[in-house]
Amino acid sequence: MSALITITILALLLLYLGLFKAKKALLPVALIGLMVALVLSLMEWDSNAAPIFSNMMLYDRFAVAFSGITIFLTILIIALSKDYFERISSNVAEYYALILFSLAGIILMVSYHNLSMLFIGIEIMSVSLYILAGIKKRDFASNEAALKYFLMGAFSTGILLFGVTLIYGASGSFDLEGIKQYILKDPTAVSPLLYTGITLLIVGLSFKVGAAPFHFWVPDVYEGSPSLISAYMSTVVKVAGFAAFLRLIMFSFAPLQDFWIPMIIGMSVLSLLIGNVTAVYQQHFKRMLAYSSISHVGYMLFAIIALNGSSDNAVFVYAAAYSVATIIAFGVLILLQGQVGNDSFDSFNGLARKNPFLALTLTIAMLSLAGIPLTAGFIGKFMMFSKALSSYHIFLVVFAALNAMIGIFYYFKVIVAMYFKEEDRKELIVPVYFKLVLGFSALVTIALGVYPDFIASLI
Amino acid sequence: MEVQSLPVDYLPILFQMLVALGFVVLTMTITHLIGPKRKTADKLSPFEAGIEVVGNARTPVSIKYFLVAILFVLFDIEVIFMYPWAVNFREFGVEGLIEMFIFMATLLLGYIYVIKKKAIEWGD
C-alpha cells in the first residue's frame, strides 16, 4: 500500500518541481521515486494478506507481483523519456505527473477487493491517459487519438459501471468475497441479473485491454498518440487491464465458468485472427505494433479460458515477456521517428550496418514477440498453450499456433529489412539512456527465455 | 440481511414517473391550447440578456472562461466531502480530523499549483 502513497506523492512533487523550474531534476527524481515505490511494494510480499481499508483493497501476492511489474515497466519507459517531452512543449513536469497519476490508478486496479475500487482505479488511469494521448496539441493525429480514446473509454466505463450495478442488484454486494459467497450459495440458481452483469463487465474490461471485437480504437489511438505514450498504453496499461480482468474472474466468477468461457473463447479467436491478419498488411511499424498488441491479447486470454490456480502466473510471465519486448520496439521506433521522421518498414533498411546494437536489440524483441525459443516470448506462449491444452481446448491451440506462424511473417519483415536490404543511411544517434534501457530489456528477454523458473512460479 | 422485494413494490416509482411525465405533457398541451398567440419578429429572434444578437453564435470564446468554470467545479465539489464529515464529526474523532486535513492539504496543493500556473490570471 505504501507504493500507492509513494507514487501519488511523487506525482505531486514532480508537479511542484516543474513549477519551481527544476526541469533538470524531473527525470532523476521520477526514476528514484519509482524505484523506492518498487522496493516498497515488493516488501509487502506476504502470502496471507488480509483486506485493508474496510475490505476495499487486498494487497496480496497477486497485487504485489502485478504492481511490481507495472512499476518496473514504467521505470523503463520513463527512462526513455529523456529529451522526449521537451520537444512537444514546455509543460514537461505535467506529463510526468500524469503518467504517475495513471500508475496510481493502475495500482488500485491490480489490488482492488471491491468493485467500486476497480471503477475508481480504471477512471484514474483512463482520465490521465486521455490527456496524455492528446499532448501533441498541434498534431491532428494526436487530437484524433485523444478524442477517440476518450469517447470509447467513456462508453466502455459506462458499460462496466452498468455491469457493476447489475451484479450489485443480484448479489447485494460490491465486495469480491461477497459476490463469490452469493454465487457459491447456489451456482445453479443465481439471478439472471448476475449473468447480464458479468457479460457487461467482461465487455467493459475487454474494451480497456483492446480485445476483439472491442478493439476498434486500438490502432488509431496507438498510432496517433506520441510514441512514448503508445508504449505506455500498450504495455503498462494492458498488463493492468489484464490483471484487473483476471482478478475479477479468479476471485468471484470462477464457479460460473460454463457461462463466460464461450464468450472468452470467441474473443480470443477473434483477437488472434483480426490482430494477426491485419498486421500482415500494415506498411508502418507503429500500426503493426498496434495490431500485434491485439493479437497478444488473444494469447493472454488463454489463461482465463483455462482458469486454475496458476493462471495468474501464466499471465504474469506472458505480460512481462510481451511488455519488455514491446518497450524495445517502441524505443527503436522513437529514435527512428525522431531522426528519420518516418516509421515505414522501408525506413529500417540497412539499419544493421550502421547501428548494429539497435538492430540486435530490435531483432531480439521481434523474435520474442514472434515466440521463437530462447526468448521470453516463447516461454510465455508455451505456458499459455500448455494451459489451454490441459483443459482440452485442442482446436483453440491449433488455431493459435497457425496464428503464431502468421505472426512470424510480419515480425520478420523488420528483421529482413534491417539485415538484408541495403540502403545508404546516416547512423542513428543513440543516447545513453536508450542504450541502457534497450540493452537491459534485451538481456531480460534472453534471461527469461533461458531460465524462466526465475519468475515462472512466483505468485 | 437479504430483503426480498417484489415487482409490486416498485409501483410507487412507476406512479412517480407517470405523474412527472403527465405534468409536463399536460401543462405543455394546455398552455399551447389556451394561451394567446401573438408572434412578432422580435419575439421569435434569439435573445440573451436583452441585448440584440450580433453575428454568428460560433465565435471562439476565450479558453479562460472554461478554465475558471472547471476550476470552480473542482473546488466546489470538495465541499460535498465536508458535509458527511461534519455530520459524523464526533464519530470520526481525531483520526477523521487528520484524514480531512490530508484531504484539504492535497486540495490546497492543487490550489497553489493553479495560482502559480497563472490559470486564473486575466491580465494580458
Q: What does the pLDDT look like over A144-192, one tens digit per residue?
A: 999 999 999 999 999 999 999 999 999 989 999 999 999 998 888 888 8
Q: Could you tell me which of A431, A440, A411 has the C-alpha nearest to residue A328? A: A440
pLDDT of A312: 86
Q: Could you tell me which of A223, A221, A359 has the C-alpha nearest to residue A282? A: A223
Question: What is the residue type of A271?
Answer: S
**Which letter does DSSP use for residue A113 in this model?**
S
Tell me if A53 sits within 8 A of A127, measured CB to CB. Answer: no
Q: Give chain A's count of helices (H) and strands (E).
A: 20, 0
CA distances A444 to A300, A394, A415, Å, are 20, 31, 20
**What distance in Å separates the CA atoms of residue A11 and residue A34, rounded to the nearest whole number?**
10
- Which residues of chain B form beta strands (DSSP E)? none
User: Hey, what domains does chain B have and what are their CATH numbers?
Assistant: 7-116 (1.20.58.1610)
pLDDT tier at A266, thresholds 50, 70, 90: very high
**What distance in Å separates the CA atoms of residue B110 and residue B118, rounded to the nearest whole number?**
12
If DSSP codes are grouped into helix, strand and coil, which group holds residue A132?
A: helix
Of all residues in chain B, the one with the smallest CA distance to A9 is B106
The C-alpha cell at A175 is 465486495
The 10s digit of each residue's pLDDT in A295-334 is 999 999 988 888 877 788 889 999 999 999 999 999 999 9
**A219 pLDDT above the threshold of 70:** yes
The C-alpha cell at A50 is 488480509
CB contact under 8 A, B113 and A19: yes
Sorted by sequence, the CB contacts under 8 Å of residue A342 that are 6+ apart come out as: A336
Sorted by sequence, the CB contacts under 8 Å of residue A138 that are 6+ apart come out as: none
What residues of A are in contact with residue B2 (Cβ under 8 Å)?
A: 172
* Over residues B92-98, mean pLDDT: 89
* Over residues A86-104, mean pLDDT: 90
pLDDT tier at B48, thresholds 50, 70, 90: low
Q: Could you tell me which of A288, A415, A292, A424 has the C-alpha nearest to residue A358? A: A415
**What distance in Å separates the CA atoms of residue A275 and residue A265, rounded to the nearest whole number?**
15
CA angle B91, B84, A8 (to 5 degrees): 95
CB contact under 8 A, B117 and A19: yes
The 10s digit of each residue's pLDDT in A102-133 is 999 999 999 999 999 999 999 999 999 999 99
CB contact under 8 A, A19 and B109: no
What residues of A are in contact with residue B113 (Cβ under 8 Å)?
A: 15-16, 19
CB contact under 8 A, B106 and A15: no
pLDDT of B47: 66
Of all residues in chain A, the one with the smallest CA distance to B115 is A19
Owner of C-alpha cell 480504437: A217
pLDDT tier at A51, thresholds 50, 70, 90: confident
**Nearest Cβ partner for A12 among B1, B2, B109:** B109
Q: Sign of dihedral through CA atoms A103, A106, A110, A111?
A: positive
- Using a CB–CB cutoff of 8 Å, tell me whether A5 touches chain B: no
CB contact under 8 A, A15 and B116: no
Rounded percentage of chain A residues whose pLDDT exceeds 70: 99
The 10s digit of each residue's pLDDT in A150-161 is 999 999 999 999
**Measured in whole angstroms, how far is the alpha carbon of residue A434 from the centre of its chain?**
20
CB contact under 8 A, B113 and A15: yes
CA distance A293 to chain B (A): 36
A344 phi and psi angles, rounded to 5 deg = -70, 160
CB contact under 8 A, A172 and B2: yes
pLDDT of A291: 93
pLDDT of A387: 86
Question: What is the residue type of A360?
Answer: L
CB contact under 8 A, B116 and A19: yes
**Which letter does DSSP use for residue A250 in this model?**
I
**What distance in Å separates the CA atoms of residue A24 and residue B73, rounded to the nearest whole number?**
34
Read off the pTM: 0.88
Question: What is the residue type of A216?
Answer: F
List the domain boundaries for chain A: 2-456
**What distance in Å separates the CA atoms of residue A353 and residue A420, rounded to the nearest whole number?**
10
**A459 pLDDT above the threshold of 60:** yes
pLDDT of B124: 60
The 10s digit of each residue's pLDDT in A7-20 is 999 999 999 998 88
Q: Which residue has the higher pLDDT, B36 or A97?
A: A97
**What distance in Å separates the CA atoms of residue B85 and residue B95, rounded to the nearest whole number?**
12
**A286 pLDDT above the threshold of 80:** yes
pLDDT tier at A438, thresholds 50, 70, 90: very high
Tell me if A347 sits within 8 A of A336, measured CB to CB. Answer: yes
Average per-residue pLDDT in chain A? Answer: 90
Task: For the beta carbon of residue B58, count every other beta carbon within 10 angstroms.
Answer: 6
**What distance in Å separates the CA atoms of residue A247 and residue A122, rounded to the nearest whole number?**
14
Q: Which of A9, A16, A173, A179 to mutate to test the interface with B (most CBs of B within 10 A)?
A: A16
**What distance in Å separates the CA atoms of residue A119 and residue A401, rounded to the nearest whole number?**
35
CA distances A177 to A135, A174, A457, B121, Å, are 40, 9, 25, 50
Paired strand residues for A369: none
Interfacial A residues in 163-192 facing B (CB < 8 Å): 172
Interfacial B residues in 99-118 facing A (CB < 8 Å): 106, 109, 113, 116-117
Q: Which of B113, B114, B115, B118 to mutate to test the interface with A (most CBs of A within 10 A)?
A: B113
**What distance in Å separates the CA atoms of residue A151 and residue A161, rounded to the nearest whole number?**
15
pLDDT of B1: 47
pLDDT of A201: 93
CB contact under 8 A, A16 and B113: yes
CA distance B19 to chain A (A): 26
**Which letter does DSSP use for residue B55 in this model?**
S
Tell me if A76 sits within 8 A of A82, measured CB to CB. Answer: no
Q: Sign of dihedral through CA atoms B36, B41, B47, B49?
A: negative
Sorted by sequence, the CB contacts under 8 Å of residue A73 that are 6+ apart come out as: A235, A236, A239, A323, A324, A327
CB contact under 8 A, B109 and A16: yes
Tell me if A221 sits within 8 A of A233, measured CB to CB. Answer: yes
Rounded percentage of chain A residues whose pLDDT exceeds 90: 58
**What distance in Å separates the CA atoms of residue A71 and residue A65, rounded to the nearest whole number?**
10
- Using a CB–CB cutoff of 8 Å, tell me whether A12 touches chain B: yes
